[in-house]
Amino acid sequence: MRRLLRRLASSLNSSGPARRLRWTCWETPHRPPARTPFLTPPRRHALCLSGPVPRLPQPVPLLLACLLTTALGCGAGESQFPANRVYLKKQELAAQLELSEQQRQDIVSVLEFLFGTPDAPRVPDLPAVDVRHVLPLEPLQVAAGPVSSDQLGRPQGLYRKHCAHCHGLSGDGAGPTAWFLEPYPRDFRRGIFKYKSTPGPLAPPTHDDLTRHIRSGNPGSPMPAFNLLPDEELEAVAVYVKYLAIRGEVERELIFESVDQLDEYDRLVDCSLQDDDPEEFAEQLAPVQATLSGIVRRWRDAPQQMTQVPPPSAGWNSADSIRRGQQLFAGNVANCVKCHGPTGRGDGQNVDYDDWSREIVDPQNPSAIAPFLAAGALPPSPSQPRNLQDGIYRGGSRPEDLYRRILDGIAGTPMPAVALQPPDAKPGDQRLTPDDVWHLVAYVFSLADSQDASLAPTPETPPASGTVTGRRDRSVHFSRLNIRSRAVASSKESAINSSILD
């Protein structure tokens, strides 16, 4: 495949009149094949176009489409989840040992016994908790499997149709298109979700959090809105995301326990005993079921953990409130300027990684990342604080959404929770009050409003003919594709400009 793509790239570069056009063939790491989940992953090849797009002979686009479909695949018919080889490598390096092939296969077998396969998911039966309260089987089956429809025309395989190309078959955030995206798609397997109504990294999102996020998308990121999907399809996708998250959390626990507890010839669970010695099998499986029960309970109880948003005081977004919010923004308690900068443009001096990247990044030893990249990890990318002047708020743009982002922080990221005063705080307590949080919300909203006003045309300076007025432009840089797109819009007009940087 590599040789064929390079020959095609060479012919495209050498034929026709001279142009600022380059076709490049490169190699990208890909997930291991389904039937050998712990073997070294193959390399996958693709073509990248940079420069002005030429008019190609008609057969060429068809050939490219066929080649890229062959190279990238569509995820249909895969019968086994790829293993979490990156986390396994992390634990093996920390313990300075390697699991045997049998011990690795035991992890795969236990997960399949509990959760089934991508084409035939299973809801585990547990003695201590009703898993179907969290993972109802019918919507789970609608979202699972290859893309198809039943005899009544109802869609099947919703996750693979809408999500797997970015988030991956196992929810690892490393689907075929993930390498090109900034930020990377979310890896569900840690059970940590950024935008939710529950506090802290350990509290899962509610089911409503997931459906709302899927419906609305993630503004300013590659995550699109799926607001045209029927409610029952949104529900099915949300259930499947929970399924992948719970399965991924269990997998991480099994990997950790196997590396930490097992000697060279120990077995985690011998699934062949299910028929040969059911009592011994049940005894071996009991600790795994206890771990799974604890994870399911957290998801079940998430609605009871929601952060309650107090109603704002009258005039919470007044000029006085905004001034107070500005003081807090720059003060030592909230200290928002550390990352977001003095004017909220996201240009603070703090460079950091999210929890997904921190797991494999050692700032003191950059070369230490090599074994994780070889195991299939995506190259880490530093977290980018939001430019609040853009007025694009990931996770929701309602006042209560920003209140929760400020109060609880953003799970899995460098964005911390603020220190809030308890009800019995003593005089002089420097921590924030709920009113202070509302002042910060008002100030954050004002940053976008002031940017709008500064870019609006004045009557003395009419806009040039053909321009769009009344709204500031938005700029998005797709760094891995070397493309920058800018858009500007008003209530009557809109324009988009995309530049390929060469």
The whole-model pTM stands at: 0.77
Cα 285 versus chain centre, distance: 31
CB-based contact 406:437 (threshold 8 Å): yes
229: tokens are: 């999907």
CB-based contact 388:444 (threshold 8 Å): yes
- Cα–Cα distance, 295 to 245 (Å, whole number): 10
- Cα–Cα distance, 444 to 421 (Å, whole number): 21
Task: Considering the chain, tell me which residue range(s) the CATH 1.10.760 domain(s) occupy.
Answer: 319-477
CA distances from 379 to 122, 385, 487 (A): 33, 19, 29
Alpha-carbon torsion angle 220, 222, 228, 234, nearest 10: -110
Alpha-carbon torsion angle 356, 222, 155, 117, nearest 10: -20
238 Cβ contact list (under 8 Å, min separation 6): 207, 210, 211, 214
278: tokens are: 């059911």
3-state helix, strand and coil shares in percent for the chain, rounded to the nearest 5: 45, 10, 50
Segment holding 48, helix H or strand E: strand 43-50
Number of H helices, E strands in the chain: 17, 7
CB-based contact 382:353 (threshold 8 Å): yes
CB-based contact 66:74 (threshold 8 Å): no
CA distances from 417 to 104, 311, 404, 479, 482 (A): 38, 19, 9, 30, 34
CB-based contact 274:284 (threshold 8 Å): no
Residue 196: name the closest of 181, 184, 214, 170 by CA.
Answer: 214
For residue 213, the one-letter residue type is H
CB-based contact 107:56 (threshold 8 Å): no
Below-70 pLDDT ranges, the chain = 1-78, 451-495, 497-502
338: tokens are: 């550390």
| Number of residues assigned to the chain | 502
- Cα–Cα distance, 122 to 115 (Å, whole number): 5
Determine whether domain 319-477 maps to CATH 1.10.760: yes
- Cα–Cα distance, 429 to 118 (Å, whole number): 53
pLDDT score at 411: 96
pLDDT score at 363: 85
Residue 144, CA atoms < 13 Å, CB-side half-sphere? 25
308 phi/psi in degrees, rounded to 5: -80, 130
Residue 430: name the closest of 438, 417, 420 by CA.
Answer: 420
Coil, helix or strand at residue 474: strand
- Burial class (CB within 10 angstroms; exposed 0-12, middle 13-18, buried 19+) of 117: middle
Which long-range contacts link 136-144 to residues 24+ away (Cβ below 8 Å)?
A: 136/239, 139/232, 139/235, 139/236, 139/239, 139/240, 140/236, 140/239, 140/240, 140/243, 142/232, 142/233, 142/236, 143/236, 143/237, 143/239, 143/240, 144/118, 144/119, 144/120, 144/240
467 Cβ contact list (under 8 Å, min separation 6): 495
For residue 424, the one-letter residue type is D
- Burial class (CB within 10 angstroms; exposed 0-12, middle 13-18, buried 19+) of 217: middle
484 Cβ contact list (under 8 Å, min separation 6): 475, 476, 477, 478, 498, 499, 501
CB-based contact 255:247 (threshold 8 Å): no
Q: What is the DSSP secondary-structure string of 230-292?
A: -HHHHHHHHHHHHHHHHHHHHHHHHHHHHHHH--TT--S--TTHHHH-HHHHHHHHHHHHHHH
CA distances from 469 to 243, 460, 465, 473, 485 (A): 46, 14, 10, 10, 18
CA distances from 155 to 141, 145, 152, 297, 438 (A): 11, 11, 9, 31, 44
